[in-house]
Amino acid sequence: MANLEEQATQPLFNQNHITKEQFEAVKTYRSLNLFSVHNELKLLLYLSMLMFTSGIGILIYQNIDTIGHTVLLGLLLLVTFICFYFCFKNHLGFKKEEAPFPNPLYDYLVLTAVILSCTFVGYLQFQYQTFGTHYGLATLIPTIISLFCAYYFDNKSVLSIGITGMAAYLGLSVDPKHYFENEIFNNRTLSYIGLAFGLTLLLWTLYASKINLKKHFNLVYLTFSLHLVGIACMVNLCDDYWFPFGFILGITTYYFYNLSFQIRSISFFLFTILYGYIGMNIFFVRIIGLVHFDDFIVMFFFIIPIYLGFSIVSCIKLIKHFNKKTSHDSIR
């Protein structure tokens, strides 16, 4: 590991990106063999939060008949208020730019408070039917709470919960049961909603960047937008009215491809290539299906292996180009 780090530093010095004094300082620091436990501690905090919220859910389930609904709801609400009290007390307040907590422990406290809020509202609706038959309100209220806390406390994890809540309110579900039942593939309305929601998230990202509102949230919005637009377009390419969705996927893929170099996200880049590649193949197959293909069937099976080999080589070259381009930009 030490040799790899030295090999990574030496070219910077050889290309005059760092001075000799800086190079020696880096070597001296690495010779101390210090080990950071920052990520490990954050992982433990995250696991603690999950175990705490899961434990409350199990406690409610196992003692629902002995303790009573009112007592459980009261305790849940009390713990939620305590979490929010310490969060508001130790935060500087809303700011348009990045404004983290002085202590990262409170980020997990915000996440805990939001999850408990969702549990409270869901329990309230399930047991007492507080919102009647308006089940969407039981989703919308936790979503509003999540989005407010995400922007006020500057928390990306809570923002993901808020976006997921908005998707659920619109009827989009990402749980394994609905995924394996292919609900989005059988219900075209959901695919249209998913496409519109993905494009809306993209437009909101552009607007937020223009007014400098939490620009560091952009990657979260763009990731959701990429998956929603990509999946929705691929689904609609298999429908009767498929032609316009090929152009939509092509334009968004080109935009996301260029954007992945700006934000230097390899996962964003790979998913863009994946959705673009699959969508392009579906589009070409639909185009070929419009012509009489019987005379070209032998040629088709001859071209497939060449095409697959070309695709693999092209993908490898694209990844190498991405790594080279982003590494060069980060040095500058």
Domain C-terminal end among 123, 141, 169: 169
Q: 324 lies in a domain?
A: no
3 state DSSP class of 207: helix
CB atoms within 10 A of CB 289: 8
> 11 and 109 share a domain?
no
Q: What is the DSSP string of 97-129?
A: S----SSTHHHHHHHHHHHHHHHHHHHHHHHH-
- Report the pLDDT value the prediction gives residue 180, as an integer from 0 to 100: 42
Q: Are residues 161 and 52 in the same domain?
A: yes
For residue 254, tell me if it sits in a domain: no
Answer yes or no: are the C-beta atoms of 219 and 263 closer than 8 Å.
yes
Tokens of 188: 């075209």
Count of structural domains, the chain: 2
Report the distance separating Cα 76 and Cα 142, nearest Å: 15
Tell me if 203 is assigned to some domain: no
Question: How deeply is 117 buried, as exposed, middle or buried, from its count of CB atoms within 10 A (0-12, 13-18, 19+)?
Answer: buried
pLDDT score for 131 = 79
Query: Cα separation of 245 and 242, whole Å?
Result: 6
Q: Are 199 and 225 in contact (CB under 8 A)?
A: yes
Tokens of 79: 């713990």
DSSP state of 295: G
pLDDT at 44: 81
Radius of gyration (Cα) for the chain, nearest Å?
A: 25
pLDDT digit of tens for each residue in the chain (332 aa)?
A: 445 455 567 777 777 777 877 777 777 777 766 666 767 777 787 788 778 888 877 777 776 666 677 777 888 889 999 999 999 999 888 988 888 888 888 898 999 999 999 888 988 887 777 777 777 888 899 999 999 999 999 999 999 999 999 998 988 865 545 544 545 556 678 889 989 999 999 999 999 999 999 999 999 999 999 999 999 999 888 887 888 999 999 999 999 999 999 988 888 999 999 999 999 999 888 887 777 666 566 666 778 788 888 888 888 898 888 888 877 544 44
| Residue 47 and residue 161 in one domain | yes
User: Do 73 and 1 belong to one domain?
Assistant: no
Counting DSSP H helices and E strands in the chain, the numbers are 14, 0
**Same structural domain, 55 and 113:** yes
Same domain, 19 and 51: no
Q: What gap in Å lies between CA 280 and CA 249, rounded to an integer?
A: 8
Structure tokens at 78: 């009390």
Give the end of a domain, one of 135, 169, 203: 169
Give the integer Cα–Cα distance in Å for 100 and 115.
19
Judge whether 149 and 110 are in contact, CB under 8 Å.
yes
- Which pLDDT value is given to residue 287? 82
Q: State residue 182's pLDDT score.
A: 47
- How many Å apart are CA 260 and CA 223, to the nearest integer? 10
The number of beta carbons lying within 10 Å of the beta carbon of residue 32 is: 7
Q: Are residues 42 and 120 in the same domain?
A: yes
Same domain, 12 and 58: no
Rounded Cα–Cα distance for residues 251 and 329 (Å): 25
Q: Are 99 and 92 in contact (CB under 8 A)?
A: yes
| Domain boundary residue, one of 112, 143, 169 | 169
pTM (two decimals): 0.82
| Residue 284 domain-assigned (yes or no) | no
Looking at the fold, whether 125 and 155 belong to one and the same domain comes out as yes
For residue 100, being part of any structural domain is answered with yes
Same domain as 27, residue 84: no
Q: Which structure tokens are listed for 90?
A: 């130790």
SS3 242: coil
**285 in any annotated domain:** no
In a domain, 248, yes or no: no
How is residue 313 written in tokens? 């080589």
Residues 157 and 40 placed together within one structural domain of the fold = yes
| C-alpha distance across the termini of the chain, in Å | 25
**Which residues form the domain of 72?**
36-169
Does residue 274 form part of some domain?
Answer: no
Take residue 332 and report the two structure tokens written for it.
């500058």
What is the distance between the alpha carbons of residues 92 and 102, in angstroms, rounded to a whole number? 9
Judgement on whether residues 16 and 40 belong to the same structural domain of the protein: no
